[in-house]
Chain A
Amino acid sequence: MYEAVHVRPDGPSTLARQARTAADYGYDGIVVRNHGDEGSPDDIETVKERVDVDVVDGIEVRADDPSQASGLVGNYRSKRTVVVVHGGDRAINRFAVETPAVDVLAHPMAGDGDFNHVLANAAADNGVRVEFALHPVVHDSGGSRVRRLRGLRKLRELVDDADAPYVVSADPQSHLAFRAPRELAALGETIGFDATDVHTGLAEWGRLAARNRDRLGDSYVEPGVRLDES
């Protein structure tokens, strides 16, 4: 299982500290999802070689409108293993699920974002993973948490119906915001998910990273076609 995390400069914990915390909490790896406009760590390869968990270089593209997002996704697609789009805006949500180059649409129900069956079907067709964001469930309370739980429920029903791929993340901004997989599974069960859904969603980050690493390799040409290295 993998967790998608923010690291310094997009949070108060360094990449090495987040990786170490992930190992303590029983994760197999982390995906760095720093917001594109906040900067990325420059020591991913060094840290990856010296910690017990896998470290995947990713980015969370944050844009004001779909055309800007499109440019950023095109720019980062060949440079990063996992490309996430910062959702929470109706136009951005639609852009993300209609773009096969996007790996994950993050927190589509945040802010004034919304989702419907058309977007869920588009996500399924284009293989864009929809994120079930547990961060507000863990850190909010009262009315704002009720609204986010309502959004998560709607999203879950749409994703189930369309059989769209999904990921789960608590989106920890620091090592103190990490939560272990069993706690997240228990939390998921409390709010209406199956425990297996949460484990599948956490593991999906790892499957995504493995698939994209293969695609970024030299021998890959297109699905089903690769160069013979012999």
Chain B
Amino acid sequence: MKHLPKHLQPRWRYLAVAIETWPDADLDRRGLQRAVWYATRNLLGDTDSAAADMTVLRFNHDDGLGHAIVRVRRGHTGPARAALACLDSVDDTPVGIRVIGTSGTVCACEEKYIRGPAKGPERRQVVFENRDRDAVARDGRVDVRTDDGFVGATDLDI
């Protein structure tokens, strides 16, 4: 179909979103997109979720850390932030979500808020609560595997 004239094209804002999970979580763009749609529709309803029209454009997630760029119609970033706050899991995997910034173009959003691939995690043995355990460490954050699942710790706890 022919392109719309410039003044009729929708105006978008791009939200840079930081994603954090436990290190064994496996997320993909489709799962996140589905979760964004569900969260938006559940919180805002059909009409406002259609108006916000949130789409996950870029997605990257590896070993517990990731980021995404979520496109939203200009003027709807407030409700979009609220919907993202209510996104607490993707395919039953708990996720921590934080909007780190908004931009008017994808390029600006990537350059300003998303800094290249995150430094790889370091797998090591740590002593946590008086026992040797497997852990995944990155940038001072240490996720320790225990009998009851992962525990979120830092270098200060080891």
Q: Using a CB–CB distance below 8 Å, which chain A residues touch chain B?
A: 8, 12-14, 16-18, 20-21, 24-25, 46-47, 50-51, 137-139, 141-142, 145, 174-180, 182-184, 186-187, 189-190
A99 to B: closest C-beta gap in Å: 33
Across the interface, B85 reaches (CB within 8 A) one of A13, A175, A187, namely: A187
Residues on the A chain within 8 Å of B81, using CB: 182-183, 186-187
Verify B151–A14 contact, CB threshold 8 A: yes
Could you name 24 residue pairs across A and B whose Cβ atoms are closer than 8 Å?
Answer: A8-B151, A12-B149, A14-B151, A14-B157, A16-B154, A16-B157, A17-B152, A21-B96, A46-B156, A50-B156, A137-B86, A139-B88, A141-B42, A142-B42, A175-B20, A176-B21, A176-B95, A177-B94, A178-B96, A184-B85, A186-B79, A186-B85, A187-B85, A187-B86
User: Which residues of the other chain, A, contact B84 by a CB distance below 8 angstroms?
Assistant: 183
Give 7 nearest A-B pairs by CB, closest first: A13-B152, A186-B81, A176-B96, A183-B85, A190-B82, A16-B156, A186-B82
Residues of B within 8 A of A46 (CB): 156
Interface centre among B85, B95, B148, B157 (most CB of A within 10 A): B85
Residue on B nearest A172 in the bound complex, by CB: B96
Interchain CB contact under 8 A, A14 and B82: no
Secondary structure type dominating chain B contacts: mixed
Task: Determine the chain B residues whose CB is within 8 A of the CB of A182 once the complex forms.
Answer: 81, 99
Q: Which of B36-68 contact A (CB under 8 A)?
A: 42-44
Smallest distance from the beta carbon of B83 to chain A beta carbons, Å? 8
B86 touching A14 by the CB < 8 A rule? Answer: no
CB pair B151 A138 closer than 8 Å:
no
A138: which of B20, B85, B156 is its contact (CB, 8 Å)?
B85
A189 to B78, CA, bound (A): 8
Within 8 Å of chain A (Cβ to Cβ): is B153? yes
Q: A18 to nearest B CB, angstroms?
A: 8
Q: A46-B156, A176-B152 are in contact. List 9 more A-B contacts (CB 8 A).
A: A12-B149, A16-B156, A16-B157, A17-B141, A17-B152, A18-B152, A179-B97, A182-B99, A186-B78
Task: Take A16-B156, A176-B94, A189-B78 as given contacts and tell me if A183 and B99 are in contact as well, using a CB distance cutoff of 8 Å.
Answer: yes
Per-residue contact bits, chain B 85-119, to A (CB 8 Å; 1 contact, 0 not): 11010000011111100000000000000000000
Q: A179 contacts B85, CB within 8 Å?
A: yes
Expressed in whole angstroms, the Cα–Cα distance for A174 and B141 within the complex equals: 14
A190:B21 contact, CB within 8 angstroms: no
User: What chain B residues lie within 8 Å of A20 (beta carbons)?
Assistant: 140-141, 154
Q: Within the assembled complex, what's the spacing in Å between the Cα atoms of A190 and B22? A: 29
CB distance from B129 to the nearest CB of A (A): 9
